[in-house]
Each structure stands twice: as structure tokens, then as C-alpha cells.
Amino acid sequence: MKRASYILFVVVLTLFSCAKKEAQKVLDKPTKGVIVIAGDESFAPVISQEINLFEYTYPEASIIPIYASEVETMDLLLTDSVRFAITTRDYTEAEKIALRNQKMIPRSYCFAIDAVALIVNKNNPDSMLTIKQVKDILTGKITSWRDINPKSKIKDLTLTFDNKNSSTVRFALDSICKGEPMVGENIYAQGTNEKVIDYVAATPGAIGVIGASWIGNKNDSTNMSFNDRVKVVAMSRDDVATAANTYQPYQAYIALGYYPFVRRVYALDTSSRTGLARGFSNFLGGDKGQLIVLKSGMLPTTQQVRIKQVKITE
């Protein structure tokens, strides 16, 4: 088994190395050539759609993505393995200095705002939580569904993420725990966002923490419904969660600031010239790129967004 794993690892590294060498053979231009980029796995569906449309628009361009955790994505960028990355954080000042010392130019801008969603099993009746309750779950103060609802028929509460090095885990630590350690024997990493959904769909007491772009209903062009395999938790900023004061991660609630768990998505570019990396970066912030952001369930940042109130009748 170990031998097989080792061979697979070597094959993956070899393919990446070959792809990078092929990309370097051609002096790429903004809409022509080959480049390898890195992307936070949390945004793989959106990044794939952006690449597909970019390559369709510019047939002489080829973008090869590597999807990894946020830590691994930044490592690839900072070690000059790639010159473009998509993550949920900007460069630190120390990183900017280090890149400039390597004769690279660190550029960045926010092209989308994403929500971090909590999902529960379809059979769980408790799908409204407060920010404090979520923090208490993450820090080990709440360990059972009966701590939230004494009448709950579900006892065991498990918490699951995609990857211990992911941007979702960092968001939970920085923006929800706010300095307190995330502890508990009931916290698991599934490896990918898809596996988080699978685990929650099969586990009655599970809570999954996931990027909102993964939970949209692919058959709903209006972005007004979610994946029907799970329930999406409605969040409240108040001490008690009710139907009147809780909000799910719909785009309008993200834009209006009603939904509390949001994060910015950055395009990071370290190239020193105007090549394909710069061309793709500009595409993400343009009309076509922002339309894909909108359809993914995230909020565009470089294009004007209008919010309309509608009345839905049965």
C-alpha cells in the first residue's frame, strides 16, 4: 500500500513538473500561452468555470490549475512554483518584502465575497444557531445537540471541515473563535468539501463547515435554493435564534451584512510582466468573470450589484 502511494505521489509531481516546463517554453501573453496556477480547493467549482470560459473566449490560452489547501496554495506562490493564486487572504507585509527581494511584484485585489456556511443533516430539526453557539461548539463548550435543544432526539454532535490547513479552518479560528483554541474529540477533517457534504448527509448529528459556493443547487439558475442533500443553517447575531432574526448565506444577505460569516476572495499575482497571469486576473474582475462569481452564489466586488425585493407565492 505504501509503495502504491509513493508511486502515485511521484507521478503527480512529475506531471506538475512537466506541465510547468511546458508552460515556460512559450512566452505567454495576456490571452495566449500556457500557465500553471494554484487555487484554494474551497473555490474549485468557481475557478474551473472561470478557466473554462476564459479558454473558450481565448482559444490560444491554456490554464492548468492546482487545487490545494490555502496553506499549500500560498506556499506554491511564495516559492515561485506558480505566479498566480486564488485564496481568501492577501499577502502579509513580510511576504510582500520577500517577494520584492526575489524581483517579483506582488499584486492583489478582491474579486469576490464568499460566505462560510454551516450544514446539518436533513433529518436534524435544529437548523438555526447563534454566533455564540457556533463559537461554543468550536471551542468545546457545546458537545451535544441536547446542549442546544434539550428536547433534541439527536445526542452526539460532530463537527467536520475539509482540511486542517484550509481557509475554512483559518476562518473558524480567526473570525469565530477569536483567539480561543478549537478543541474537542468530535472534530474531523474529511479531506475535501465534497466529502464534507457526503459525511453530513450520512451522519444525523454532524455539522459541516464549508464554502457557500459548494452548497448551491446546480439546477436553480436563480441561486435561491441550496443542495437538497443537506440543510443549510440559518445564523443569528442575537442571543437567541428565531425565524425572524436568522439568515442563510444568500447573496442579498451577504451584501446587506445580515449573514455574519463572510470572507474576501483574492486574486494574487507575482508576475513581473503583462502575461497570461495578468490577463486571467483582469478577466476575473471583468464582466464575464464577475457573472460567473454571481452565478456561483458568491458576491461580485468589481461590478455593480442590484438587490431587488421579490414576493414568492406558492
| Same-domain status, 165 and 242 | yes
E strands, the chain, in order: 33-40, 61-68, 84-87, 107-121, 128-130, 158-161, 187-189, 206-211, 230-232, 234-236, 262-269, 299-300
Report the mean per-residue pLDDT for the chain.
87
How many percent of the chain have pLDDT more than 70? Answer: 85
Q: Which three three-digit cell numbers place residue 78?
A: 511564495
Measured distance CA(166)–CA(215) in Å, rounded:
17
Which residues are CB-contacts of 88 (< 8 A; sequence separation ≥ 6)? 40, 42, 70, 114, 167, 170, 171, 263, 264, 265, 266
* Residue that has been written with the C-alpha cell 446587506 in this structure: 256
Q: What is the pLDDT of residue 222?
A: 54
Residue-number span of the structural domain to which 124 is assigned: 114-262
| Same-domain status, 66 and 172 | no
| CB-neighbour burial class of residue 94 (10 A; exposed 0-12, middle 13-18, buried 19+) | exposed
Residue 311 covered by a domain: no
| Same-domain status, 69 and 179 | no
Residues 115 and 261: beta-carbon distance below 8 Å: yes
Confidence of residue 304 (pLDDT cuts 50, 70, 90): low
Q: What is the pLDDT of residue 58?
A: 97
- Mean pLDDT for 249-268 is 95
Least confident of 29-33, 110-114, 245-249, 307-311: 307-311
Phi, psi dihedral angles at 308 (to 5 degrees): -115, 140
According to DSSP, the residues that pair with 67 across neighbouring strands are: 39
Dump pLDDT digits (tens) for 107-126. Answer: 999 999 999 999 999 999 99
Give counts: helices (H), strands (E), the chain: 11, 12
| Same-domain status, 239 and 284 | no
| Same-domain status, 121 and 256 | yes
Residue 207 covered by a domain: yes
| CATH code for the domain of 241 | 3.40.190.10
| Same-domain status, 222 and 183 | yes
Q: What is the pLDDT of residue 28?
A: 85
| Same-domain status, 227 and 153 | yes
Dump pLDDT digits (tens) for 220-234. Answer: 555 556 788 999 999
pLDDT at 216 over 90: no
- Answer positive or negative: Cα dihedral of 247, 253, 254, 260: negative
